[in-house]
Chain A
Amino acid sequence: AQRVTQPEKLLSVFKGAPVELKCNYSYSGSPELFWYVQYSRQRLQLLLRHISRESIKGFTADLNKGETSFHLKKPFAQEEDSAMYYCALLTGGGNKLTFGTGTQLKVEL
């Protein structure tokens, strides 16, 4: 079955602390994974995708096929990082995204 698991509903960290949002997936094919973010009162938007191997707003995510994980990391959390983060897996023959349940990141001062 194709599934994305985000085990934490809420992650609270202090400003300047490292952040790791966990994402595990279940997929029989070659996975293509994404992180989407929703800031307060804003639309869901792409943060990054593993194919690009890029760092966006200081966030990075590495695909680990052995552990079937795609954790999102940032070395130093900022207040503006507070948002809802969704991990997503491309499924359906590459035609649709399957989302996890999301993790609310709260960065405290």
Chain B
Amino acid sequence: DTGVSQDPRHKITKRGQNVTFRCDPISEHNRLYWYRQTLGQGPEFLTYFQNEAQLEKSRLLSDRFSAERPKGSFSTLEIQRTEQGDSAMYLCASTHKGGANVLTFGAGSRLTVL
């Protein structure tokens, strides 16, 4: 197990296009989180899953954002009709429920919307 994997590492797209990011968590971790980070800011919570159930979604999150974790393993984050303001680093993290709330982060997927 090489930790939390994210793909792609970089994505450049034109405004209005859809993009999808994938996250493969540590295999025995049942909780998976998505965060967004922009320049000069800390990671901002987007959503999290426990197994396949999406338990919370940030109220700040636009309806253009959707996340899935269909089999309780990998997760995808889709952004529809991208806007320039969506340009950011999208971070995935995983942990055990009851794992002392210690998150293991992936390297992130950097999105640039032109």
Measured CB to CB, the residues of A under 8 A from B are: 4, 6, 9, 32, 34, 43-46, 49, 51, 86, 88, 90, 92, 94-102
Cβ–Cβ contact A99 & B105, under 8 A: no
- Tally of A-B residue pairs with Cβ under 8 A? 51
**B103 in contact (CB, < 8 A):** yes
Q: Which of B3, B35, B42, B48 has the most CB of A within 10 A?
A: B42
Chain B interface, >50% SS class: loop
What 0/1 pattern do residues 21 to 43 of B give for CB contact below 8 A with A? Answer: 00000000000010100001111
Cβ–Cβ contact B107 & A95, under 8 A: no
Residues of B near A44 (CB, < 8 A) are 43, 91, 105
Q: Indicate the size class of the contact surface on chain B.
A: 20 to 34
